[in-house]
Chain A
């Protein structure tokens, strides 16, 4: 135990041992790594007359570089519940997968369809427990026995229950569309149109969001996951002639140094034993 280096915390999770070292380094002027893979992102949700519609863009960024042009930000939680995630990609994936498994076990235990508030409580408890270090900002939506529900969950664990919601770096661009066009009692097609417009607003006006629009429509007993519902960003120019790539590697200098033989080979030694 005394020579084991960094001890793993007994119940798993984060070890804060290096915080003092990080503080000391920061005081000396050392920058911590600035670009984790985040999802930049515009995610939205709205409640319409028959249920909930969720929408998301598909760009994942590492600092100023796009690392995935077509990632999936609408995560499965239960057959009747889906969750959009913004923030650090690893955190949103991990937390939604974990709660999805917990919900499945709970369904086996209770024999009933999962409720949105159950997913909500499991997520917010987890995020609050980690005091905001798990950087996941989520839009949770679904339809259960009590009706359609839409919630936002912030990295520190607070939640809101809303008729329409946006999160991510493109949330202001998307919210401006919702605030102008949302009204109660929308039909399915009207709802999808507004969601697509809000996501497009994020895609074109926010640099952290881009590429395609994903939509998920949830109604009582039925779900429609419309992956790449809209592709408003085709590649603009492809060189018709194509490019050739040199196969040969350019040799700048050839220098061969023969090594001196250090091993003496004795001829006619004993044969090796079998």
Chain B
């Protein structure tokens, strides 16, 4: 249905009501639409059929929009452009776009080595260092462009005082598409463990 047709109908309905309220208004008083007499004549014919339809209740829905009148109503009545994404029908990532634990591990190790080289453990600043590390690692993993992958990066920084620490991790996920990588760094005053998970979003 072209945009022109329904608009015309609406404006005709409103015109008709305005005309009937002030009886005796001639053809010359019809604003805007169809300035020529022939067009106006056509308009009157159409409006008669419209009124019939109205009384029968078929076009009742149009009564809900009486305020629309005039040619400029065209762009006001255009529907909002909603972005609709098409289905890709893909159930898993492409072979070369899968989360690669090895590549991520290399990147993480580089970041840890470069950031923590010579840094001493400090209770106040280590918290900030840990947070920064997670953000940096997450940004670098995003640069790999793993499409439809959710990424979780965790960083543990602790002081070295001869204590023992055990870390275990387990997950329920799709073993084909999801994976994780770890990297560790130690110096004399601190140790650091970085853990990154890549989970495919079906």
Does chain A bind chain B?
Answer: no
Q: Contact residues of A with B, CB < 8 Å?
A: none
